[in-house]
Amino acid sequence: MDEIVQRLSRRLKRRGYEVSPNKETGAYIRSLGFQVQTVIDVGVAGGTAHLYEAFPDAKFVLIEPIAEYETKLRRNWSDKIDFDFHACGVGAESGQTTLRIPTVGTRSMGTRATMLEFEDSATAQMSKIEERQVPVKTLDKVASSYDGPFGLKIDTEGFEIEVIRGASELLKNCAFVLAEVSTRRRYQGGYKFSDFVSIMADHGFELHEFIRPPSPQATDCDAIFAPFDSSLFDYRDLKLSRMAKKG
């Protein structure tokens, strides 16, 4: 942080504001030091730019139940990353399920498609919900064809816990999980934030930090989880370190 930004940050802090870095960038994700060979992006839609920029040499596995996104992905990313595309959903068991794609006004919202049923409060804002049958695979099944260590991103609109339930083997060789985690009631039978933290803890993962923190204006947040035995959870206290250096 340069001197001008530091001065501005101090002035804003005195007025009740705080300056924080934009963490949704490739540079920031790369700075966390994760070592991966394969990155699995579940619920890819049009792509996750900061993830691809962070690991340009990795093999990517892009998973998306709306098959039409493949054309856009190949047009925008084929010359930038090495990836395979899987047109399917991901869950606790392999099979088939109903995908619900909402339309708001006249716009089809593929990025809000879910394998759950919307809460009535959400449905009231939609003009239509398209339903289609899609295949479902477990992450363990998909990952069996690739080499670890893995990185995992999940954005499945409320289905994240089901994704984790089908990933027990993958998580044994996974450096991080970047997940969009619900913080509001969006879906019938949906989970609480604490439920997701709990199932990650069952697999030895703890919350490391928020890439996009919770807020009263948002229904979800982006959180990075990492194995608790990794160096990310070693003791650090920057304030004490600075004090010690000053003597």
What CATH class is the domain 33-246?
Answer: alpha beta
**Mean of per-residue pLDDT scores for the chain:** 92
**Secondary structure of 75-120 in the HEC alphabet?**
HHHCCCCEEEEECCEECCCCEEEEEEEEEECCEECHHHCECCCECH
Mean pLDDT throughout 26-38? 95
What average pLDDT does range 41-57 have in this prediction?
96
Percent of the chain past pLDDT 90, that is, above it, reads: 78
Q: Which helix (H) or strand (E) holds 63?
A: strand 59-63
pTM score, whole prediction: 0.89
Q: Taking the C-alpha atoms of 89, 162, 127 and 216 in order, what is their torsion angle to the nearest 10 degrees?
A: -130
In the predicted model, what is the mean pLDDT of residues 55-61? Answer: 97
pLDDT at 142: 97
Task: Compute the average pLDDT of residues 150-172.
Answer: 97
- No. of H helices and E strands in the chain? 10, 11
pLDDT tens, residue by residue, 110-143: 999 999 999 988 888 899 999 999 999 999 999 9
Domain residue spans of the chain: 33-246
In this prediction, residue 104 has a pLDDT band, given cuts at 50, 70 and 90, of very high
